[in-house]
A and B are shown apart, each in its own frame.
Chain A
Amino acid sequence: SAVISQKPSRDICQRGTSLTIQCQVDSQVTMMFWYRQQPGQSLTLIATANQGSEATYESGFVIDKFPISRPNLTFSTLTVSNMSPEDSSIYLCSVASGDQETQYFGPGTRLLVL
């Protein structure tokens, strides 16, 4: 398994501002994932972040709104840009196991946009 930490754990932001969420893993991993979980909902994949290449975004998510960095094999950031109240969600990062059959999640970042 992997131990994953996220910063900040929660934040309240004003409309139009941006927030960068950090994800740190205790071991080197090839793929990191960013998910959004809206209130009372399941998880929706935003993008897959590979080290040394651009992130791959899912349908409905674009790089201008959710820029991602992956500077090394243990760290990634997700920025939520030009926020609106509709961006209020839990944002989760995760990593896949070596056999790619399981994911391990961070504790999440709870974002409220006013």
Chain B
Amino acid sequence: TQLLEQSPQFLSIQEGENLTVYCNSSSVFSSLQWYRQEPGEGPVLLVTVVTGGEVKKLKRLTFQFGDARKDSSLHITAAQTGDTGLYLCAGVSYGQNFVFGPGTRLSVLP
């Protein structure tokens, strides 16, 4: 059974701080996605990474896929209150269903 772990589970920071959240597994994935879910909404795709070692940037967000394609990180620079939400990573392997991590609940305080 493929499992994804995320850390930290909860994170509360002040606006302007930097943070990193992690997504780890013992399984290899063909791709990994990061989603953000705000209260009352469905998860919204932020990025898909498919190549080991890949780094993608989306404004203040930097995503990295581990060389072995078992882990990923999301780094946010100068967090804003609008970054508040539940961050979910999800992995997929060829012919398998998507597997979701438990999520990191981020709260950015003004």
What residues of chain A have their CB less than 8 Å away from a CB belonging to chain B? Answer: 1, 4, 33, 41-43, 45, 48, 58, 92, 94, 100-108, 110
Contacts and interface: CB of A to CB of B under 8 A. Distances in A.
A18 B42 CA distance: 23
Interface residues of B, number: 21
A101 B50 contact: yes
A110 B42 CA distance: 11
A48 B97 contact: yes
A41 B101 CA distance: 10
Interface string B76-102: 000000000000101010000110111
Contacts, number: 47
B95 to A, nearest CB: 9
18 contacts: A1-B45, A33-B98, A41-B102, A42-B102, A43-B43, A43-B88, A92-B42, A92-B43, A101-B31, A101-B48, A102-B31, A102-B48, A103-B33, A103-B90, A106-B42, A107-B41, A108-B40, A110-B40
